[in-house]
Structure 1
Amino acid sequence: MDCSYFDAGVCRSCTLMGVPYAAQLADKDAHARELLAPFGDAAWLPPVASAESGYRNKAKMVIGGTLEAPTVGILDENGRGVDLRECGICAPGVRAALPVLADFATRTRLAPYSVPERRGDLKYVLVTLSPDDELMVRFVVRDENVVPRIRAGLPGLLRALPNARVVTVNIQPEHKAVVEGEREIVLTADSSLVMTVGGMPLRLRPQSFFQTNTAVAEALYGQVAEWVDAVSPASVWDLYCGVGGFALAVAAPGRRVVGVETSREAVRSARATAAAAGLPHVAFRAGDATAFALSAKARPELVIVNPPRRGIGADLAGWLEDSGVPGVVYSSCNPKSLAHDLARMPSYRIRTGRVLDMFPQTGHMEVAVLLERAA
């Protein structure tokens, strides 16, 4: 894949840009296998490839520039806007929406927020594309006073962007490197975007986490479901469950599944999906995964963990080590933290594993492993 932004030196986020994709995938696979070799004689499956470009289903774009000529992309080292609206790793449906949103900001008189000057209205636009080509659009603004202007302009925006299913305003008043604030104002009748993955219509609400690459996410959910079905546990915990992708993928008659997630919005999404699918044996709890495990009176037969980049940490790894739980599926976006956690869990060995290339053109990857307790 070629990228004019990378070649011009204005964006270097995709550190592997220009490296042949086959080499990227082979290097990631070899790196994961080497890093995790001390933790079991694993049967590694072939890596899952992605489309090289157009794979990102969401974009978090900083708004810079001026009211008459806003930039949609990132900021340079001086806090000035760099326009990346034609970013090639974003899905075509996301790219098509960005000029419309920039024009909307100008027409609605939403001044781009200036980091050096600490003034302006609009900080980010966050765009998510569903497999059905529907959009969730979120405007992150500094002050609630601009909401009436956005609401007044909404009919025109929906005419220009008719596939925008959900439009919201997020209030982030603080001057710090945090994209979103706590308050979300939904402007449309729909408050969730349906992300159909593997035939399961997951409901994605604002501020809910979902994998960046829909096609590879589907492969990941399918792989984990295959491993879980082979083990056939009667009870499963899905810790760091997000909108419930793993929990819902492994649901089966008679199998009790509990998902745990700190984001209340994500839990609302997961519960709505489970209810619509008629899955009474799947439940979701809002709370900290480690606290849930440490306070639970009963233990499941299998635990799925899908933590953020920092990993599950010493407390949860220690609980798993001492728990007696026979099996663990660990899905990680950072194989280094995965290795650190496995070092804290010497009773578990990797039975099988797989690299899934969720992030082509970058050094990041998803690694999923099935762990079993050594006899």
Structure 2
Amino acid sequence: MKKNDEIITTIQDMDFDGYGLSYVDNKMIKVKGVVAGQKAKVKIKRIKNDIAEANLIDIIEKSPLEHDDVCQHFGECGGCTYLNVNYNVQLKIKEGIVKKLLDEAGIDGYEFLGVEGSPNVFAYRNKMEYTFGKDNNGNLKLGLHKKGRFYDIVTTKDCRIVDNDFAKCIDLVLNYAEKYNLPVYNGKTHEGYLRHMVVRKAAKSGELLVNIVTTSQIYHDFLELVEILKRADFEGKLVGILHTINDSLSDAVICEKLIVLYGRDYFIEEILGLKFKISAFSFFQTNSKGAEKLYSIAREFAGDLSQKVVFDLYCGTGTIGIVMAPLAKKVIGIELIKEAVDAARENANLNRINNCVFIPGDVAQKLKEISESPDVVILDPPRPGVNPKAIMDVVNFDPETIVYVSCNPVSLVRDLKMLTQRQYKVEKVKCMDMFPHTYHVECVVLMTNVKNG
């Protein structure tokens, strides 16, 4: 086997990050966009030691796991990997992947509680970032990137993971942009105007925000679009229409200037009876009802918090800390992004919670400056996991309990190994499926201090 070889192989197993695995000539072949049981034609793109990575060319035979009830964009859009797989089977796949990672890391002696399914299997997302583009015929597109293609866009009106209001926004904004022939931003030349549309909608209140993202290269007032959206027959309640100016070269949605065209620049979401003010650029779990389950698991794992001090590390906008606060003596949250800390403080005030302190700064550095000691530490880091220095600082605080909430099982397992080499033992692991039809899964881990056991 060598680079650029085209081979036909049967996918035998699944791995994290959406890879299917097969084995040929004593080598493992990793292929994205496939499921176990499929016979696929693939092209080898690189080989390192006994592992080869390949690109999918075609599916020769379907898997017994597959069904045909998919949206019209499936296979072209890169959004959903497992939409063609029964949901209960998806959960089994994710459960198996996480358990395998834990076993291979040598973590044992714990209770594995499987995976909790999302309350909503479809129309569960409260946020989507859509991109403007043009096809080869010059037709305007507004939707998600094509699978494996950075500059090509699919207009995703039939998307199953958002509700009908998202499709209405696509339709209305696309028709408006076509009417005025507004130029699309070109990521190669960095010329043009229309870049993105971000739609956010609260699951509980139904409040809807629409944000049009452009460059500053031309001036357009969007007054007519505002009236069109205000008259639209949305299922939810339109509370804000925004215009964001973004001249950065990055494809990410970056706010250099925010103009409120109508209403306000935030919506209110409710989690476990608590209200959260979510601004246009605030981080918030994209599956609101799934977040309720996730935080309930974390709260259950934390145990009796009465008269206990809780550290909420990588606290973001303070959701987990605020959920824990009514049951605890005190919550101290630390987050690198100052705007998120400001939002956390505002959300605590919104719920009349006065036993939370939120601190902006690097977790590893700020832990050195805190004189109080925690009884319980909540770790909810970004995908790369916890800074090793921060792990040692947590260990030095000697908390009774650590609850680790992770969006990346690979970095989670790495950090668990480091903690179990000290005085902590993994007691329970439970997965929460926040992202049906994708390969992503959240994990919640309970660890206890056994130094004096």
TM-score (norm 1): 0.90
Matched, 1:357 2:433: yes
Given that 2:310 and 2:375 are in contact with CA atoms closer than 8 Å, whether structure 1 keeps it comes out as yes
Which residue of structure 1 lines up, in the alignment, with residue 230 of structure 2? Answer: 158
Given that 1:203 and 1:270 are in contact with CA atoms closer than 8 Å, whether structure 2 keeps it comes out as no
Counterpart-to-counterpart distance in 2, 1:13 and 1:249:
30
Given that 2:172 and 2:228 are in contact with CA atoms closer than 8 Å, whether structure 1 keeps it comes out as no
Matched, 1:52 2:125: no
- 3-state SS of 2:73 partner: helix
Which residue of structure 1 lines up, in the alignment, with residue 83 of structure 2? Answer: 17
Counterpart-to-counterpart distance in 1, 2:223 and 2:144:
26
Given that 1:206 and 1:265 are in contact with CA atoms closer than 8 Å, whether structure 2 keeps it comes out as no
Counterpart-to-counterpart distance in 2, 1:291 and 1:168:
36
Distance 1:306 1:254, change over 3 A: closer
What is the correspondence of 1:285-300 to structure 2 with a 5 Å cutoff? 285-300=359-374
Matched, 1:34 2:100: yes
Letter in 1 for 2:221: R
Which residue of structure 1 lines up, in the alignment, with residue 292 of structure 2? Answer: 218
Distance 1:252 1:31, change over 3 A: same
Distance 1:265 1:86, change over 3 A: farther
Quote the offset at 1:40 in angstroms. Answer: 4.3
In the TM superposition, what whole-angstrom CA distance separates every residue of 1:308-359 from its partner, at most 9, and x where no partner exists? Answer: 1111121212222333122111111111000111122222221112110111
Distance 1:113 1:40, change over 3 A: same
Unaligned 5+ segments in structure 2 are 1-68
Counterpart-to-counterpart distance in 2, 1:88 and 1:75:
16
Deviates more, 1:320-329 or 1:228-237: 228-237
Letter in 2 for 1:206: A
Matched, 1:88 2:160: yes
Distance 1:186 1:299, change over 3 A: farther
Quote the offset at 1:55 in angstroms. Answer: 1.6
Counterpart-to-counterpart distance in 2, 1:213 and 1:329:
21
Counterpart-to-counterpart distance in 2, 1:223 and 1:72:
37
Counterpart-to-counterpart distance in 2, 1:294 and 1:232:
25
Which residue of structure 2 lines up, in the alignment, with residue 283 of structure 1? Answer: 357
Counterpart-to-counterpart distance in 2, 1:286 and 1:105:
40
Matched, 1:367 2:443: yes
Counterpart-to-counterpart distance in 1, 2:325 and 2:227:
40
Structure ranking higher in helix proportion: 1
Quote the offset at 1:140 in angstroms. Answer: 1.7
Given that 2:144 and 2:156 are in contact with CA atoms closer than 8 Å, whether structure 1 keeps it comes out as yes
Letter in 2 for 1:201: K
In the TM superposition, what whole-angstrom CA distance separates every residue of 1:258-282 from its partner, at most 9, and x where no partner exists? Answer: 2222333333332222112211111
Letter in 2 for 1:172: N
Counterpart-to-counterpart distance in 1, 2:144 and 2:430:
33
In the TM superposition, what whole-angstrom CA distance separates every residue of 1:198-232 from its partner, at most 9, and x where no partner exists? Answer: 11111101211111111111101112122224354
Counterpart-to-counterpart distance in 1, 2:240 and 2:340:
16
Q: Which of 255, 262, 284 in structure 2 is aligned with 1:181?
A: 255
Deviates more, 1:90-99 or 1:123-132: 90-99
Counterpart-to-counterpart distance in 1, 2:183 and 2:432:
40
Which residue of structure 1 lines up, in the alignment, with residue 61 of structure 2? Answer: none
Which residue of structure 1 lines up, in the alignment, with residue 71 of structure 2? Answer: 3
What is the correspondence of 1:179-328 to structure 2 with a 5 Å cutoff? 179-230=253-304, 232=306, 234-252=308-326, 255-328=329-402
Which residue of structure 1 lines up, in the alignment, with residue 142 of structure 2? Answer: 72
Cα RMSD (Å): 2.5
Quote the offset at 1:182 in angstroms. Answer: 4.3
Distance 1:89 1:320, change over 3 A: same
Letter in 1 for 2:76: V
TM-score (norm 2): 0.76
Equivalences, count: 372
- 3-state SS of 1:221 partner: helix
Given that 1:224 and 1:329 are in contact with CA atoms closer than 8 Å, whether structure 2 keeps it comes out as yes
Given that 2:193 and 2:217 are in contact with CA atoms closer than 8 Å, whether structure 1 keeps it comes out as no
Deviates more, 1:162-171 or 1:297-306: 162-171
Given that 2:143 and 2:170 are in contact with CA atoms closer than 8 Å, whether structure 1 keeps it comes out as no
Quote the offset at 1:87 in angstroms. Answer: 1.4
Given that 2:130 and 2:197 are in contact with CA atoms closer than 8 Å, whether structure 1 keeps it comes out as yes
Counterpart-to-counterpart distance in 2, 1:254 and 1:324:
18
Quote the offset at 1:18 in angstroms. Answer: 1.2
Quote the offset at 1:117 in angstroms. Answer: 3.7
Counterpart-to-counterpart distance in 2, 1:108 and 1:245:
41
In the TM superposition, what whole-angstrom CA distance separates every residue of 1:133-169 from its partner, at most 9, and x where no partner exists? Answer: 21122222111753x6135643443223662212222
- 3-state SS of 1:350 partner: strand
Letter in 1 for 2:84: G
